Chain A
Amino acid sequence: MKRNLFGLLLLAVVGGLIASLACAPAATTTTTSQPAENVVITIGDLPNLTGAYAATQSFYVEANGGAVKLANEKNYIPGVTLKYEWVDAATDPAKAMTAYKKLLAASPRPAVIIDHNTAIGIALKKTVEVDKIPIVEGGCSNEIVIPPGWVFYYGSPYPCEAGAFVNWFKTQWKENRAPRFAALTWDIPYGRAWITDESLAYIKAQGFEIVGQEFIPAVPADTTPQLLRIREAKADVCFGAMYPSALAVVLKDANKLGMIGTFTWGGVYAVNLAELVDYVGPLANGCTITSTDILPEMWPEKAPLIQEVWDKSGVKLTPAAKYGFANPLERVVIGMGAIKAAVEKVGAKNVDGQAVYNALIQMRNFDPWGAGAPISFSETKRYGQDTVFIGQVKDEKLIILDTARVPDLLPGGKDVPAK
């Protein structure tokens, strides 16, 4: 009996697998009915729906798929129907490589792929160069932008964002001594990417005293040791890169230790502060980021298309998710913009990865549907934005304080202090 039951279960699993395989090629796409003569061009997407990034990225498919659908409805690229394909990259470069191969098997082969993970961007860099498929990337490190390859980071590099943050913090500093600066960040490529010789030299040159570097795991359980060392070092400001799920643990531990208010926490763009407010409420007050996006409240006026995608999104998203909604969407808009330019240049039928790559390196002051600062790439420049918004949580609400130019702190950059 037991054996028969197992056999049935096994049969059900295998049957289910075969049934899914049989149906799978017909699914996984977002297109709308378009004239039959339209050329179909595929945009691939690698959201991380499993692992440490999952909580923040779980609605990326709705955002990006919605943007592609809207572009088709509005005939954004005349004569072209865009097809959206996604595969879960699972916050794991090894799994992402397989996911990437699956995207390559799509018909037609993607002309551009959107990615949202620094480590995966690094892992894909060599491979996409061989396959000649450009990536519009949401994560950044020096490895991604130097030497210039086929991965295009949409924002400004994290070391440069750190520079913009300290410039802003300096204007807020009232005391008659050098502010004490510490790193408090995720111990993964994304978390450490902003810590470079150039960014540290710049922070020092701006009059900060660097008093420590603390790293926490991607899924932290207790950050007390790191926080105690921060307290020991008497840091006035801590900067880092981590998702709100991890920062919430840090802030709760800081609260237990009576450290809330003793330092300002600053971070790079990917920290969704609205999500953080959901997790920790008033503990999030004062947290500040260098944001690449405008606020959702500004969408109706400044980014009506983003608002439309939001309005049409079939899935009910939390208010916190709304703050992160435009972020992945910006990247897919850049991808669509590059496809549009490529179509104009070589004709819809001839658009491939190479044509989109050529369009990306010629992209100047491209408006990502109003969602963020203009995007410019070049033959040698692989990051898009030269300005950031300074966003902060005040009274449990996210506000934008300022727009700041990001200093060029890549190796050999013009704002790197001389040794």
Chain B
Amino acid sequence: MSKRPSGNFETSYAQDIAICHTGFQQVVMALFLVCLLIIVPLVSSPYILSVFNIIGITIIAAIGLNILTGYAGQINLGQAGFIAVGAYMCAIMTTHLHLSFWLALPLAAIITGLVGTLFALPSLRVKGFYIAVTTLAAHMIIMWLITHGGNVTGGVEGLAADPPRFGDFIFNTEQHYYFLIIGLTVLLTYAAKNLVRTRFGRAIIAVRDNDLAAPFLGINVFRYKVMAFFICAFYAGVAGALMAGYYKMITVEYFPMLDSIWYIGYLIVGGAGSIVGTIFGVVFLKLLSQIVMWGGPLLGEVVPIFSAGAVSGLMQFTFGVIIIIFLIFEPRGLWHRWQIALSSMRIWPFPY
């Protein structure tokens, strides 16, 4: 059967939660991965690969946020701060401690996870809007510590980071980074997809849906909230470490507060509570920002009254409009659209 047949024929939970339900889906997934991991890096220009690399790093951080916000229901407005921790930890370990990037990356992720855990502790007493403000404070505290970190963090001047290397082979082209970043993105996406299908995943969804009822199901709410924070910050740490290795130089200005809002935007546009939706959201908005980058000068060229000054801030404007459109017309995001499209296709040509 080429497509999934109409109706639900699963006879076990394993079948029900499978990522690919039919042989056709497995083939499509395999072709997609071959295309992503082999063909794209071979045929794309460095610029296109750089866009893929940025998207990959952002997807990793956004998936972490989705586990915390989309699945566990804890709003995090400090994701950019956690990414900064990962980036600086990686840079400090490679530059000051002369550790290999391959060791620095997981260590940076774990340390970032622990920092995230620290800021999760207030979730024992507060929730909702208040925990969101706590994470906002986390961003400010982290930035303050970095800017006042003297020679350790380089203060506002920033810190150089050693690029990843294998012996004499140094990662210094977009293609090299593509394999590293997209490889890790695939791996961590798969890990996240698995994670939310485990007992842990079901528990945090229960916490999100009703944290008063969850304890009666035997769920330790605080423990799961803290674990969700750890995983969210761990993913941010990986993204930050990759940023440090990719950019080779980091400053606090890489991690503005606004970026944390953008991450929430990725979830809104893609669909909070869905791993695939996160990818949709990031890809959509990142490509949109590239289009605006191209379109700004174009607009000034084609319509002279739109000078460069007039088109300044076009991305923020577009971003705002897109968020409003999604909140009004499709609060469940692109992922929900995708589900509708798949359902229609499954029973085509009898959509009703």
Contact = CB atoms under 8 A, between A and B. Distances in A.
B213 interface: no
B298 A126 contact: no
Interface in A43-62: 47, 49-50, 54, 58-62
Contacts of B252: 188
B47 A104 contact: yes
B256 interface: yes
A95 B286 CA distance: 11
B202 interface: no
Interface string A93-112: 11101110110110000000
Contacts of A99: 293
B290 interface: yes
A187 B147 contact: yes
A189 B329 CA distance: 42
Contacts of B155: 192
Given A93-B251, A130-B172, A188-B253, A49 B309 contact: yes
B36 interface: no
B248 interface: yes
A27 B160 contact: no
Interface string A202-240: 000000000000000000000000000000000000000
B312 A101 contact: no
Interface in B287-337: 287-291, 293-298, 300-302, 304, 307-309, 311-316, 322, 325, 329-330, 337
B313 A122 contact: no
B293 A94 contact: no
Contacts of B47: 101-102, 104-105
Nearest to B163: A126
B313 A123 contact: no
A123 B158 contact: yes
Nearest to B330: A6
B254 to A, nearest CB: 5
Contacts of B46: 101, 104-105
A49 B313 contact: yes
Nearest to B296: A88
A261 B51 CA distance: 51
Nearest to B312: A49
A182 to B, nearest CB: 18
Contact of B293 (A87, A92, A123): A87
A10 B337 contact: yes
B54 interface: yes
Given A17-B291, A105-B45, A59 B307 contact: yes
A403 interface: no
Contacts of B259: 94
B139 to A, nearest CB: 13
Interface string A318-342: 0000000000000000000000000
A418 interface: no
A28 B253 contact: no
Contacts of A59: 307-309
Interface stretch (A18-26, A278-286, A366-374, A384-392): A18-26
A49 B304 contact: no
Contacts of A189: 156-158, 251, 253
A111 B160 CA distance: 25
Interface string B41-54: 00001110011001
A2 B329 contact: yes
B152 interface: no
A245 interface: no
Nearest to B256: A92
A90 interface: yes
A61 B294 CA distance: 15
Nearest to B291: A17
B247 interface: yes
A199 interface: no
Contact of A102 (B293, B307, B308, B309): B293
A62 B307 contact: yes
Contact of B300 (A9, A61, A105): A61
Q: Chain B CB within 10 Å — which of A17, A21, A130, A142 has the most? A: A17
Contacts of A314: 304, 307
A17 B158 CA distance: 35
Interface string B261-291: 0000000000000000000000000011111
Interface in B146-171: 147, 155-158, 160
Contacts of B290: 98, 102
Q: Chain A CB within 10 Å — which of B155, B293, B325, B330 has the most? A: B293
B304 A90 contact: no
B308 A86 contact: yes
Contacts of A88: 293, 296, 308, 312, 315
Contacts of B289: 95
B253 A92 contact: yes
A35 B313 CA distance: 37
Contacts of B307: 58-59, 61-62, 314-315
Interface of A: 2-3, 5-6, 9-10, 13, 17, 20-21, 23-25, 27-29, 47, 49-50, 54, 58-62, 85-88, 90-95, 97-99, 101-102, 104-105, 119, 122-123, 125-127, 130, 141-143, 187-189, 191-193, 314-315
7 contacts: A10-B337, A92-B254, A98-B54, A123-B250, A126-B160, A127-B247, A189-B158
- A-B residue pairs, 3 tightest by C-beta: A58-B309, A49-B312, A61-B308
Given A17-B291, A49-B313, A88-B312, 7 more contacts: A6-B325, A20-B295, A27-B301, A60-B308, A92-B253, A189-B158, A192-B156
Interface of B: 45-47, 50-51, 54, 147, 155-158, 160, 172, 174, 243, 247-254, 256, 259, 287-291, 293-298, 300-302, 304, 307-309, 311-316, 322, 325, 329-330, 337
